[in-house]
Amino acid sequence: MSSPDPSVVLDLIEAFRRSKTMFTAVRLGVFDRLPATAEHLGRTLEADPGALGRLLDGCVGLGLLQKNADRYENTPASDAYLRKQSPQRLTGYIEYSDQVLYRLWGCLDGAVKEGTHRWKNALGLDGPIFSSFFRTPEARSEFLAGMHGLGLLTSPAVVRVFNLNRFRHLADLGGATGHLAVAACERYGEMYATVFDLAEVVEEARAHVNVSRAAGRIRLQAGDFFQDPLPEADLYAVGRILHDWSEPKIRTLLTRIHAALPPGGGLLIAEKLLDEDRAGPVATQMQSLNMLVCTEGRERTESEYRALLEEAGFTQVEARRTGASLDAVLAIKM
């Protein structure tokens, strides 16, 4: 009898090595200092040139670098997403993944046994991970820049998958750098938007919003969507928000949104959707485990979101796959 194909197991044994290779190259600033030889880069980074050469060759094998003779260069993808000066950069989220999530995932067994996040176990934190870890302006700014890069990849798809022409004012709750508001206002020429987030986050959003051709129709407002009055709008949006929280907190937020909407108003949710049988997609399953180790929340199916929305009073709930890494749900208040 022949043995089963071991490739799926062998691939997963090595998967973290590939991630850590990219994480380390980003953390060292490799992609910001190319083109260069390993010897020259080693002097710049104060790194052993032989060891650095192994790291660079690994990046070549992963498709992150190109090598011409002994000279290393960025690929178009690394130039766009792995350079810290690129407006599309994902480096902030990569460094967060390296310094925080990598450690939290090391405690996954305890999270599975106890059903709780691993802030205290992995990081020694007593409070919420975002407020505790991003306590310096520099760390917060770089993290938000990374999330902005992710938003540039997903928000255009989220605002395109439904026709939102009937709405006039979008309020993006927890809108971060404003990428969803920008995508919506640039697509729908008569739409206005408010980016609603904590005061320190709103300040980070200003520079991103100001470069949009729709900047004149987007305003910024500081506030906490759990406590403060919500901006007036006929369409609210929550992107990568609901998956952070438990059902009781989600019910509180959805009830507040429903009460603030006029009749016919809507709520646009941008999240990864699990298949109804929870057998996929893999990226959503992995993100749900990520929520286990680092938040109070999880990823959900369409029917779970539908139940929460209908309980809050919404009707005409529809979910659509966008083809990007976030899906979309639109619910209407009748």
pLDDT at site 125 = 81
What pLDDT was estimated at residue 133? Answer: 59
**H-run or E-run covering 235:** strand 235-239
Q: How far apart are CA 312 and CA 111, in angstroms?
A: 30
The pLDDT tens digits for 167-199 are 999 999 999 999 999 999 999 999 999 999 999
Per-domain residue ranges for the chain? 7-81, 146-332
Catalytic residues, by residue number, are 243
CA–CA distance, 74 with 64 (Å, rounded to integer): 7
Q: Does 7-81 match 146-332 in CATH topology?
A: no
Instruction: Say what the pLDDT of residue 53 is.
Output: 97
Separation CA 284–CA 271 (nearest Å): 9
Please list the rounded mean pLDDT of every run of 10 residues in the chain (334 residues): 93 97 98 97 96 98 97 98 95 93 96 94 79 74 89 97 98 97 98 96 91 96 97 98 96 98 98 98 98 95 98 97 97 97
Q: Looking at the chain, how many residues does it have? A: 334
Query: pTM for this structure?
Result: 0.94
Within 233-332, where are the H helices?
A: 247-260, 282-294, 302-311
Name beta bridge partners: 72: 36, 67
What confidence score (pLDDT) does residue 109 get?
97
Give pLDDT, residue 1: 79
Supply the pLDDT for residue 137: 83
Q: Which CATH number is 146-332's, of 3.30.70.100, 3.40.630.30, 3.40.50.150, 3.40.190.290?
A: 3.40.50.150
Give the contacts of 237 (CB within 8 A, at least 6 positions apart): 170, 171, 172, 173, 175, 180, 181, 184, 267, 268, 269, 270
User: And the tokens for 178?
Assistant: 């404003």
Q: What is the CATH number of domain 7-81?
A: 1.10.10.10
Position 143 scores a pLDDT of 85
What is the number of helices (H) and of strands (E) in the chain? 14, 12
CB 208 within 8 A of CB 178: yes
